Amino acid sequence: MAGTKAGGQKAANTNKTKYGKDFYAEIGRKGGKNGHTGGFAANPELAKIAGAKGGRISKRGKAKKNA
């Protein structure tokens, strides 16, 4: 009956009694541990493309203005 504030507190107390006082901290720890899955580590092909772009840009000289 977690549709009300009192019901939510009752459910939280039940969970803490059943699974230990650090029940919600453990859920948060697991979520934080699994939350960092994006970026170049997950997609090496994307890293390859980005590295190639960066290499091309850094090897160019300053832009020359036409007179």
Whose tokens are 């230990």? That residue is 20
User: 61: helix, coil or strand?
Assistant: coil
**In the predicted structure, residue 25 carries a pLDDT above the cut 90:** yes
64's tokens: 């020359």
pLDDT of residue 31: 81
CB-based contact 35:43 (threshold 8 Å): no
Tens of pLDDT, residue by residue over 8-21, are 999 999 999 999 99
Predicted confidence band of residue 67 (pLDDT cuts 50, 70, 90): low
pTM over 0.75: no
Percent of the chain residues past pLDDT 70, beyond the cut = 87
